[in-house]
Amino acid sequence: MLSTSRRAFIAPIAHAPSAAFIACALSITLLNPACAQDSAPNGTAAQSTQDDGSRDAKHAAKHEAKQDADQARDSRDSSQSAGNQANSATAPASDTQSGTQDDKKHGKKHKDKSSDAPAVDPAAPTNNSAGNNNNNTTNASAVKPTIAWYVSLHADGAADPATGGASTGPSTGAGADNILGFASDGTAKGSVLGAAPASIGQVHGLRGVLPLSDGTILVIAAWKENTQVLQYGKPVANGTRPFMSVFTSHSATNPLLLHPYCLAQASDGTIYASNQDSNTVSRYGAPGSANAGVPLGLDGSVQSGATAGMIIPSQTMQSDGIKMVRGIAFGPDGKLYISDRGQGEVSRWDPATGKREATVLSKKHDLKTPIQLLFSSDGSVLFVSDNKRNSVFRVTLATGAVDDFVPVAAGLDAPSALALDGDWLYVGSRKGQAVLRFNRESGVADSAPFLANLPDNPEFFVLNRF
């Protein structure tokens, strides 16, 4: 029986439709398109003439009143447009997230309050530039896109919901992997990543997406045969992102980076990666720095060899190490929080020493298989998705209090991705191939899924801040 005190929505998830038509809307970065502004009228009130003065005066007064009303309306429209643009302001990339980021303002109202999951027009254009200007870039060809959310999918070659056909990936060929983009209202905008050079090999198994403060993004290509972390540039006019470089990759001098899952950025700009096959967390020089993408030790020195860049060890290396690593996130205290799917716990580590400090959430709280982590913008709350229990836990850090924030009855099926925006906590339902959202204060579900009938299991759902 569902509690009468909190309304939980059990989402009836349909099977994915044919390639000719896929209704879906994925999220994980919210930007509102700039609003077009009407020009205010410039006419002046009619002057009274000496002939038929009374009639002309009445006519002029009537005309002036109409102009005043028009000006008031245009002024109101312009103010609303400016307000919408102001609400698009970006947050720094240092905000903690495990594939998703929180808005700076906790109480900000969500722009899209529709109770129905938006349908996707198979004939919709792949992208929509809408003539928006990007204040975050010095590149004149780069503009603020209408793409608000990025989603990575588990399967390769999933159909592109904007076109109904196979996605066009950064590797050459139909059906290649890509990140899919969606507007703030859930409208599918097509593939996001531009073509990568053939010299870097196949780009496959896309997982974590990390927006950086300069407007570029890092994307994990987790395929074991060609593990890489790739950097893509600022969005261009159609919302796509051109390939920039291989940030780092698996090699004999960087062996721990194998089948990585999640990325996090420390306050000093260095990048941390959780590695599923080595069950370690490794550290790399900050993008744009002299040692960008190079494995760094605890002391910041350049490393190579068997344990290059290792900050957090696996359980096979150290008794209190990680058994099966998944999501990672930096907390407001600068400490690194880690999901251990195998141990059924979330732990806190000091990245300066590599020492384990505490267990934050564990099986004693009925946690089973934690996947992703997400801090609220003020850092007071940690959300944890539980893939096996089909719920989301909330930890209040100041007190250590734990509650079953999104309960089992809420309709999630193997939850993973987490994102916060406005009044809502967004949760990717992997097996449900949907994104559901819940009131961030009460945990009560929205009346319908935010996104439904996705082409495959959503892995990361990330807010596009640039």
Instruction: Write the DSSP assignment of 27-87 as a string of letters.
Output: -B---PPPPP-PPPP---PPPP-STTHHHHHHHHHHHHHHHHHHHHHHHHHHHHHHHHHHT
Q: What is the mean pLDDT of residues 148-169?
A: 67
Q: What is the mean pLDDT of residues 247-268?
A: 97
Q: Give dist(CA 416, CA 454) in Å, integer.
A: 15
Assigned token pair, 90: 């970006």
Residue with tokens 């290649």: 176
What pLDDT shows up at residue 443?
Answer: 94
- Listed in sequence order, the residues at least 6 apart from 90 whose beta carbon sits closer than 8 Å to its beta carbon are 136, 465, 466
pLDDT in tens, 340-372: 999 999 999 999 999 999 999 999 999 999 999
Q: What is the mean pLDDT of residues 65-90?
A: 43
Question: 200 in a domain, yes or no?
Answer: yes
For the chain, the domain total comes to: 1
In 10 A of CB 10, how many CB atoms? 12
Confidence of residue 466 (pLDDT cuts 50, 70, 90): low
pLDDT in tens, 10-52: 333 333 333 333 333 333 433 333 333 333 333 333 333 344 4
Left, alpha or beta for 427 (phi > 0: left; psi -120 to 50: alpha)? beta
The b/e string for 159-181 (b: 16+ C-beta within 10 A; e otherwise) is: bbbbbbebbbbbbeeebbbbbbb
What pLDDT shows up at residue 170?
Answer: 63
What pLDDT shows up at residue 463?
Answer: 92
Do 238 and 277 contact (CB within 8 A), yes or no?
A: no
Question: 27 in a domain, yes or no?
Answer: no
What pLDDT shows up at residue 185?
Answer: 84
SS3 182: strand
Q: Give dist(CA 403, CA 365) in Å, integer.
A: 9
Q: Which of 226, 324, 333 is nearest to 281 (CA)?
A: 324
Q: 24 burial class (0-12, 13-18, 19+ CB within 10 angstroms)?
A: buried
Q: 115 burial class (0-12, 13-18, 19+ CB within 10 angstroms)?
A: exposed
Question: 54 in a domain, yes or no?
Answer: no
Do 415 and 426 contact (CB within 8 A), yes or no?
A: no
CATH code where residue 352 lies: 2.120.10.30
pTM exceeding 0.75: no
Q: Give dist(CA 146, CA 179) in Å, integer.
A: 15
Question: 70 in a domain, yes or no?
Answer: no
Q: What is the mean pLDDT of residues 282-291?
A: 98
Strands (E) located in 407-455: 415-421, 424-429, 434-439
Question: 57 in a domain, yes or no?
Answer: no
Q: What is the mean pLDDT of residues 85-110?
A: 39
State yes or no: pLDDT of 273 exceeds 50: yes
SS3 21: coil
What pLDDT shows up at residue 154?
Answer: 85
Residue span of the structural domain in which 255 resides: 149-463
State yes or no: pLDDT of 55 exceeds 70: no
* Of 17-26, 51-60, 126-135, minimum mean pLDDT range: 126-135
Best-predicted range by mean pLDDT among 129-143, 159-173, 306-320? 306-320
Q: What is the mean pLDDT of residues 423-438?
A: 95
State yes or no: pLDDT of 306 exceeds 60: yes
State yes or no: pLDDT of 321 exceeds 70: yes
Confidence of residue 118 (pLDDT cuts 50, 70, 90): very low
The mean of the pLDDT values for the chain is 75
Q: Give dist(CA 247, CA 294) in Å, integer.
A: 9
